[in-house]
A and B are shown apart, each in its own frame.
Chain A
């Protein structure tokens, strides 16, 4: 069991990679290595699920391979595909040659297109495989994925079975648009992500926005808590906070209560629907700023 990073070390390295993790997430990331299980992250849009995978790749200094799921995603797009154009050309060129030799030729590695899953198990150094928004894929794909995640081998009828050279670290994310199967949940380690508390959000801002004043970061983090409690139809996530902070820093704002006009003008960074925009009026903004000033 050598080579497994301790929890604190993972947390430190995550922080160095620009991700502020709470202890239980660091524990889960440590267990990924120890038990060789994938990690399932669940939470609302914008809480930083995808960022975890990116940071994890940095922590281990490995490549990040991303598979974005969507409705109708099938094996061909997730694992491998034959390069049909090249195959057709090859057939034309070798029209005179022996049929079985031709078949062997066009179904060889040379014509195989790697898709994320196949790519992830054929790397010399274990990469991080991010399976993003697994809940958007169909149930059949989920079942198939489960098979790959337990065996880490892929069988290609024309070529044979390809076993993993290295076992990738797999991170799955879910928004909860569809209920995932119990089998998949059981196979995975589980960690729900929530919006960060004030302290953590302020630390994230300080880490990610160069040149931000610590006091402004804290004010902004507290303001975001207030905004999220307003019952908006689209609750702003951490990415929105970062955008907003960058905008305010760019405008030279030092304190929120000193420059209310700029705060109101830059609300478009966090409010993404017409209803929400109408809801947070100038008065509401003033009230929210008043609470954090």
Chain B
């Protein structure tokens, strides 16, 4: 790192502001460090580009690292330097204490929220459950000794049982990973000698093959891409699915996660947080507009347009966790599913509603998507989640 001599002329106040700007960016997920601070100061010290109109594109080129940074930069820049527009996306992590009584709004209190918070939403939901009788009349929820395996997630009322189900979901994702990779290693065995390269490698040793070069099967590990529906209709299941996805991301070598409701958000980074609680917090910041309608078709379209090239390779399984209630046009969803199907190896659609008695995929969106789905399976209980593993193992 070289400190440019010209930066010495910059006053203390400007330095502080620049440091503040970089820290704002860092909180918004930009990867910038000290070297970038120095270079940013060097840019501002340069008389030719110190004017805001010139400094903005210069700082943009320096501080952005990917397309999403690039798209957000202008807003963040204007907000920080000119106080324009919305507040920057930085928000402090909400404290995760126990839910205060005041946070409890009752079943109809949820429309208060311009600030929808997934984590507290989830916890509130759990609280609500305590006060409501579940449809089949069970008030107290699962007992400690009862196996949670085949209980529908929406029927688990006790917060402790819920926490246990969350932990189990994560555990499940972990074991799935271990088993799947062990199979991988066995499959990678069986190396042969690469004669051509061995002879080539023997040249520096006068033709004596000291370095034997082995041929190895090029092996691409199975990649899992999860698209999680976080719309209002999925509310009862979102919390446990988030934990499941967290487990997958934490333990699969190659996995990516996206969350969608009315639009699509890339949430892998937030979910890679080791601590599940923190991950949930970060996720809730990113998932603005949770609880609105679902536009599965449009979300898939933006996935296909912007992310698919990057996250999908030939051994990718796309897992969609959604109930298939789409407020968009069904033919959009059908077309996007067809496009997605061409790219990836398998599409697994996990629908919690399948677990309900008498469910048929008659929702128009679901019916349009179904022809392109390789595995259409229930996801309403831990057992049903575990049942996917043998299928993934075959891929």
Binding site for B on A (CB under 8 A): 1, 6-7, 23-24, 27-28, 30-31, 34-35, 37, 39, 42, 82, 84-85, 87-88, 91, 175-179, 182, 185-186, 188-192
Contacts and interface: CB of A to CB of B under 8 A. Distances in A.
Interface residues on B, range: 20 to 34
A176 B61 contact: no
B48 interface: yes
| Residue among A7, A23, A28, A31 having the largest count of chain B Cβ atoms under 10 Å | A31
B392 interface: no
Contact of A192 (B39, B67, B207, B309): B67
Given A182-B31, A190-B65, A88 B203 contact: yes
B178 interface: no
B57 interface: yes
B59 to A, nearest CB: 9
Contacts of B58: 27-28, 30-31
Interface in B42-92: 42-43, 46, 48-49, 54, 57-58, 60-62, 64-67, 69-70
B101 interface: no
A4 B57 CA distance: 17
| Residue among A87, A182, A190, A192 having the largest count of chain B Cβ atoms under 10 Å | A190
Contacts of A188: 65
Contacts of B65: 182, 185-186, 188, 190
29 contacts: A1-B46, A7-B48, A23-B57, A24-B61, A27-B49, A31-B43, A31-B61, A31-B62, A34-B42, A34-B43, A34-B46, A35-B39, A35-B43, A37-B62, A42-B66, A42-B67, A84-B203, A85-B203, A88-B203, A88-B206, A91-B206, A179-B311, A182-B65, A185-B66, A186-B35, A186-B65, A189-B61, A190-B65, A191-B61
Contacts of B61: 24, 27-28, 31, 39, 189-191
Given A31-B43, A190-B70, A7 B62 contact: no
Which 9 A-B residue pairings sit nearest by Cβ, starting from the closest? A185-B65, A84-B203, A28-B61, A24-B57, A27-B57, A182-B31, A190-B64, A189-B61, A176-B310
A189 B70 CA distance: 11
Given A175-B309, A177-B310, A190 B42 contact: no
Majority SS at the chain B contact face: helix
Nearest to A179: B310
A152 to B, nearest CB: 13
Given A24-B57, A35-B62, A177-B309, A82 B204 contact: yes
A6 B51 CA distance: 14
Contacts of A35: 39, 42-43, 62
Interface in B125-139: none
A27 B69 CA distance: 17
A186 B61 CA distance: 11
A190 B6 CA distance: 24
Contacts of B311: 179
B123 interface: no
B32 interface: yes
A178 B62 CA distance: 22
Contacts of A7: 48-49, 54
Interface string B130-152: 00000000000000000000000
A179 B225 CA distance: 14
A139 to B, nearest CB: 12
A233 B310 CA distance: 16
Given A6-B48, A27-B49, A37-B39, A190 B309 contact: no
B69 to A, nearest CB: 7
Contact of B31 (A23, A91, A186): A186
Contacts of A1: 6, 46
Contacts of B42: 34-35
Given A35-B39, A176-B309, A179-B310, A186 B67 contact: no
B310 A84 contact: no
A114 B154 CA distance: 66
Contacts of B36: 186
Given A35-B43, A190-B69, 10 more contacts: A27-B58, A31-B62, A34-B46, A37-B39, A37-B62, A39-B61, A82-B204, A84-B203, A178-B310, A190-B64
